[in-house]
Structure 1
Amino acid sequence: MPQPTLNEHFTEQAGWCAELGSPFTAELLRAFAMSLETSGIIKTLVGNWAGNPRADALGLRLAGALHHAVLSGASAELKSVYPTGETYPDFETIWPVVETYLAANADTVTDFIQSPPQTNETRRAFMLLIGLNAIAKRFGKPIHLLELGASAGLNQNFDAFYYDAGSWQWGDQASPMTVTTNWKGPAPEFSNFISIRDRKACDQNPLDLSDEATRLRLKSYVWPDQPERLARFDAAADIAVSRGTKVEKADAADWLERELATRPDDAVTVLFHSVFFQYPPLETRQRMTNLIEAAGARSSDDAPLVWLRYEPELLWNRNAPPLALGMTCDLRKWPGDNHQILARSDGHVRNVEAL
């Protein structure tokens, strides 16, 4: 896709936020676009942004900076107009407060938006679960799980969640963490052998949720008019802290090369990532693809390799829907390099079409 202008990016992102159930964030992004057009505070802050605003998720960086000020208590004025649950004032009331905060705290906001948003949307664990289930049924072996771009590693703990898809459930109903979705299509037939022998994860900027400041920053990227998502984040973060979940700081391609070279010879190695592959540079994506395909070519029935992905379908299908709404859960299995599509959904896995 061609690089959008700043205005096009804000407008596009507003549309995605609206589709994904956050009218507040959609209105905020539209207000960013208007401020840019009228040479307001947004033009002052990011008018000379050097990168690709879509790839950088610039609108979500700005939205996160504002939500962080609310959650941290840095601005009582902002908090007074931000959503309480799903309720908030009209934007004629909200925007002047936002504009005043941004102008008065330009340095703080500029510093905050230097880092990309990381959310680890926990509903994506549905895709990890159904993928690992399909892999367990196919191979009947313990799983050596490797996750790329894992952020704080929330979904590393997928097996501590309770899943309610309407037509089927999985996990311990007493779990403090419940994920729900609207499921269409056949329910999965679950294997009794989803055995995770070990799990590893990496990220360029891994987040340690035992640090309260880090946890608050990560929570700020959850949209403020979605109380159910905010509650799920807190529950998943508590599980990650209690389990001592760790994510290694590493370049994804370098880490992948090392881990594939030392993978076990008596387990199925599963390489997993979700809404990650669109962000690295093209040459990095190609290097990772080459590493995976080469490792797949060397795999055996004793030590299979599976590439499990939940990513924008646009990465391999030019006729797919836009990035936020056209996500596919698929896997490539070696030996043999067999491709299988398991499900389609959106970036937040609200509605799943099982295949």
Structure 2
Amino acid sequence: MASDIEAGGPVERLVRGWPGNPRRDALSLRIAGYLHYAVLGGKAPELAAVYPGANPDWTMEAVWPIARDWLTRRERAAKVFMKSPPQTNETRRAIALVPGFLKVASLFPGPMHMLELGASAGLNQNWDRFNYRTSRWELTGNSDVTIDTDWIGPPPDHIDMSFNVASRAACDQAPINLSKASAARRLKSYVWPDQPERLARLDAAIALARRTRVRVDTADAADWLKAKLASRPEEGPTVIYHSVFLQYPPAETRRALQAMIEEAGAEASWDRPLAWVCFEPGAFFQGPDQVGIDPNDFVTYLRVWPEGEDYRLVRSDGHVVRAERL
């Protein structure tokens, strides 16, 4: 694509005059997603024939000329597709959140009330139904979704705890409605087409979300959380959680969310505790125990009230291909 821009080809026409920041707006992913979307929809048989799904021995030399021709002939459709920002809902990140949920369950054995921010399609609302498999530990859920990773270090603490999830809610500014086949296909289009295991896991998570009638409210995270915290249940922990979300809202929204959570935490009691579990870039949670955390690491952070303790539990890459207990 970079060479095509320099040559004045279809990619150059697609990105010319882009009003925002091309890197931050992930234009390359938008274009790659459009091509994969066409393949998944069965509308580009000549492209599908050279993509990894149909050709395990694929090469870029075979793919790119056909992709370039497709973009030339479908320039208007590509531009329409590119208007919407990419959305992913990486279920593998749930395995980085689980150590936090285990800790919460060990501290507060009552019913858990889950609140997810930036939930996209809401796939990770079903985190307790997933199966988790590593070489060091396993947890068995009740679904066809299996999450694995290369786990470094001892298993998480409290691995024998059971989860009692009493309620689930989630929000996103632009949630994906999985009841629409086109929306589910768009979500899938942003997964690399040469990662069949990841694509299969996403298919299973989408099927589970449809079966369990997952719902994501269309709302600003700060407004939504304020209302939810004001009406949180009188018994059991309320658990706020998110993964790779904080980099998207503006700084003032992040500050408002943190202040709101800390204010609610100050009012928490042992009968009505509050927990904050998240998997985010390590820079968001600097502290004295950050020694050894690389700037590119993602960290599982947990804070609980009424005791007010905070923990850093796991570090990993953004897609949790490898995870190390801290």
Instruction: Give the TM-score of the pair, scaled to structure 1.
Output: 0.85
Structure with the larger helix share: 1
1:271 aligns with 2:240: yes
Secondary structure, aligned partner of 2:49? helix
1:82 aligns with 2:77: no
1:303 aligns with 2:272: yes
Letter in 1 for 2:120: S
Residues 85 and 141 of structure 1, relative CA distance in 2, 3 Å threshold: farther
1:184 aligns with 2:178: no
Letter in 1 for 2:48: K
Secondary structure, aligned partner of 1:344? strand
Counterpart in 2 of 1:352? Answer: 323
**Structure 2 Cα separation of the partners of residues 322 and 220 of structure 1:** 29
Secondary structure, aligned partner of 1:103? helix
Counterpart in 2 of 1:340? Answer: 311
Secondary structure, aligned partner of 1:255? helix
Letter in 2 for 1:59: S
Q: How does 1:81-160 map to 2 (within 5 A)?
A: 81-84=50-53, 87-160=56-129
Equivalent residues of 2:179, 2:210 under 8 A apart: yes
Q: Deviations over 1:113-159 (max 9, x none)?
A: 22222221111111232211111112222211000111111111112
Q: How does 1:1-355 map to 2 (within 5 A)?
A: 32-84=1-53, 87-172=56-141, 175-188=143-156, 189-317=158-286, 321=294, 326-355=297-326
**Structure 1 Cα separation of the partners of residues 199 and 124 of structure 2:** 15
Q: Deviations over 1:199-224 (max 9, x none)?
A: 10111111222221111111111110
**Structure 1 Cα separation of the partners of residues 100 and 57 of structure 2:** 39
**Structure 2 Cα separation of the partners of residues 96 and 42 of structure 1:** 12
Paired residue total = 321
**Structure 1 Cα separation of the partners of residues 52 and 60 of structure 2:** 11
Equivalent residues of 2:282, 2:293 under 8 A apart: yes
Letter in 1 for 2:235: D
Q: CA deviation at 1:33?
A: 2.3
**Structure 2 Cα separation of the partners of residues 263 and 53 of structure 1:** 41
Letter in 2 for 1:179: I
Letter in 2 for 1:64: G
Q: CA deviation at 1:292?
A: 1.3
Q: CA deviation at 1:39?
A: 3.1
**Structure 1 Cα separation of the partners of residues 37 and 4 of structure 2:** 21
Equivalent residues of 1:35, 1:43 under 8 A apart: yes
Secondary structure, aligned partner of 2:228? helix
**Structure 1 Cα separation of the partners of residues 55 and 199 of structure 2:** 12
Which region of structure 1 is more displaced relative to structure 2, 64-73 or 301-310?
301-310
Secondary structure, aligned partner of 1:107? helix
Secondary structure, aligned partner of 1:60? helix
- Structure 1: runs of 5+ lacking an equivalent: 1-31
- Structure 2: runs of 5+ lacking an equivalent: none
Counterpart in 2 of 1:23? Answer: none
Q: CA deviation at 1:321?
A: 4.2
Moved over 4 A (4+): 317-323
Secondary structure, aligned partner of 1:34? helix
Equivalent residues of 1:85, 1:225 under 8 A apart: no
Q: CA deviation at 1:351?
A: 0.9
Equivalent residues of 1:35, 1:41 under 8 A apart: yes
Q: CA deviation at 1:191?
A: 4.3
Secondary structure, aligned partner of 2:174? coil
Letter in 2 for 1:176: D
Percent identity reads 47
Q: CA deviation at 1:88?
A: 4.2
Equivalent residues of 1:140, 1:193 under 8 A apart: no
**Structure 2 Cα separation of the partners of residues 192 and 93 of structure 1:** 51
Secondary structure, aligned partner of 2:323? strand
Secondary structure, aligned partner of 1:270? strand
Equivalent residues of 1:85, 1:227 under 8 A apart: no
